[in-house]
Amino acid sequence: MVQTITNCWEHIKCGREPGGKNVESEGLCPAAIQEKFNGINRGKNGGRFCWFVKETKCKGNTEINFIDSFEHCQKCEFFLLVQKQETRHLVVVRNDLR
């Protein structure tokens, strides 16, 4: 079975990626444009590392930092999907990227 690897904006369908339908009203999602996170957990930019990206929006709330947001992220359907797909290779935190 071929595994489909999606980024958070593709999975959640928020429309906040470059060219997305909600960029004008809600702004670009920082996860979609954080190039320094490109490739982590096989994602584009921060698309599969969104829980670590500052100022992302989760269910309408702006997540300011990793410590405050990760408790919510651990329950997120997308985080659980990435965790399952990446298994032991999952990157949760990268101190060298802050």
Instruction: Give residue-wise pLDDT tens across range 16-57.
Output: 999 999 999 999 999 999 999 999 999 999 999 999 888 887
Domain ranges of the chain: 8-93
Which pLDDT score is estimated for 61?
Answer: 67
pLDDT surpassing 80 at residue 67? no
Q: Which of 35, 37, 33 is nearest to 52 (CA)?
A: 37
- Separation CA 12–CA 94 (nearest Å): 24
- When pLDDT is averaged across residues 74-83 and rounded to a whole number, the result is 94
Percent of the chain whose pLDDT exceeds 70 = 87
3 vs 11, more confident: 11
pTM over 0.85: yes
